[in-house]
Structure 1
Amino acid sequence: MAAPQDGEIRHYQFPGRPGECKIRLAAEGKGVDMRVVRLNIIRVGSEAFTDEDGPRLLAAVKEAAAIFAGSGLELVLGEFRNIGEKAAGGMDVIGGTDEEKDLTVKFATLLPGIDVFVVKAYAGGTVGSSPVCGRCFPAIPGQQIGVVVVLTPEATGKTLAHELGHYLGLEHMASPSTNVMYETVPKGFELSEAQAVEMRHHHVVEKSP
């Protein structure tokens, strides 16, 4: 297999999993010591996800992967799980912060990496949520673990990158508006060198094999 080029996205398929479910994005040639961030994707209320939602979710991860590659971080999709509406117990539509905490703790994968819970709706118009400098399970009582994002046609990739940034230790920024961590709905793709250093020191980040 040829060496990966800067910004190249490669896809892998595994038996028994729907569609392309693993992404590795490598950026060689810049002298960057790449680090790995594993994502475990959990679709909540899986019956509500349509055939179009699979490619839409994959595109969102691609977009987030492209953003993080510039910071020397490689997103790798590991576990893929579905939670049916009955098992979710109403948490397929998030009603508030208490419910998102309950969701992330109850259905934690207990695997290396960051759990990303994908829902179709969140009351009040919220599109994503994550603790700043998130912790792996077991969590501090009452603390959210993992990331929650709403799958939308327009902004899921930037939202995912924004919430992963929070989980890896980044706060909101008042400016510039082009930064991924801008304080309102994310519109940009930029991450500073200081932000890259902060994220790469998070305990969930692994050395690239």
Structure 2
Amino acid sequence: MSIRHDFMGLLAKTVTFSLRSQLVRLGMRRYDLNLIKVGHELFDPVVEHPQIDEAVMRAREVYAAAGLGIGRVEHFVINVASASADGYLVIDEDDCEDLTSDWSVRNGALDVFIVRTYSGTTAGSSPVGGSCDKTGKDPDGLIVESNPGGGLIQFSLPHEVGHFLGLEHRDDADAVMYFAAPAGDRFSAGEAARMHRHCAIRPPC
């Protein structure tokens, strides 16, 4: 078993982490993540895997300040053939609900679909207060753009998770939920309380 990959959920060997910090965060209420690369053969592991790792680590930091840990992080793929057949290699806002309805991982974690190209004015999409019922018709996942080389996924991942956990945009550049990227790293006390009530939040380990 690899602590980096199996315990921390990291893909590359370049991102540093603190095992002690993660053990402390597992003592908090938490949510788990399924990271699903859409058209995974097109991803450049040298460039994009470290960026995905950095996004996960930044999310861990900003959510810990709200009293929430990120527990299990598992990785899944949708290959190019399957994504192309369903029209999901290039995603726009109209495709989001279909993608998250057509594909899901049958566990209690948040499904995060990582696409290489999101066509639109944003770098991702999520329902506000996403559903925990992965057998139903309601949107039950969120989408972020890899944006290779651009670094936006470090902001869009925690931001879109915030939407899924029930948060709206804020007009505050220091807030995680700022309406434009790059966003800040703060949640208000009210936002933290709202997220703690979401059905995806699990008890401490």
TM value normalised by structure 2: 0.83
Displacement, 1:102? Answer: 1.1
Paired residue type of 1:45? G
Among 24, 34, 39, which residue is 2:28 paired with?
34
1:185 and 2:189 correspond: no
User: How far, CA to CA, are the matches of 1:159 and 1:83 in structure 2?
Assistant: 21
3-state secondary structure, aligned to 1:170: coil
Among 138, 141, 144, which residue is 2:134 paired with?
138
Decide whether the 8 Å contact of 2:110 with 2:200 is kept in 1.
Answer: yes
User: How far, CA to CA, are the matches of 1:79 and 1:26 in structure 2?
Assistant: 16
Partner of 1:61: 56
Among 160, 163, 167, which residue is 2:160 paired with?
163
Query: Is 53-62 or 183-192 further displaced after alignment?
Result: 183-192
Partner of 1:3: none
Change (3 A) 1:67 1:60: same
Decide whether the 8 Å contact of 1:92 with 1:120 is kept in 2.
Answer: yes
Decide whether the 8 Å contact of 2:35 with 2:75 is kept in 1.
Answer: yes
3-state secondary structure, aligned to 2:143: strand
Decide whether the 8 Å contact of 1:37 with 1:74 is kept in 2.
Answer: yes
Decide whether the 8 Å contact of 2:4 with 2:10 is kept in 1.
Answer: no
3-state secondary structure, aligned to 1:68: helix
User: How far, CA to CA, are the matches of 1:18 and 1:39 in structure 2?
Assistant: 12
Displacement, 1:120? Answer: 0.4
User: How far, CA to CA, are the matches of 1:194 and 1:204 in structure 2?
Assistant: 18
Displacement, 1:119? Answer: 0.3
Change (3 A) 1:136 1:155: same
Paired residue type of 1:12? R
How many residues align? The count is 192
Specify every segment of 5 or more residues in structure 1 that has no aligned partner in the other structure, as ranges: 1-10
Decide whether the 8 Å contact of 2:11 with 2:53 is kept in 1.
Answer: no
The correspondence of residues 6-155 of structure 1 with structure 2, limited to 5 A, is 11-14=3-6, 19=11, 25-26=21-22, 28=24, 34-51=28-45, 52-88=47-83, 89=85, 90-97=87-94, 99-138=95-134, 141=137, 143-152=138-147, 153-155=150-152
Compute the RMSD of aligned alpha carbons: 2.7
Percent sequence identity is 32
Bigger relative contact order (CA 8 A; separation at least 6): 2
User: How far, CA to CA, are the matches of 1:180 and 1:81 in structure 2?
Assistant: 26
Specify every segment of 5 or more residues in structure 2 that has no aligned partner in the other structure, as ranges: none
User: How far, CA to CA, are the matches of 1:82 and 1:134 in structure 2?
Assistant: 22
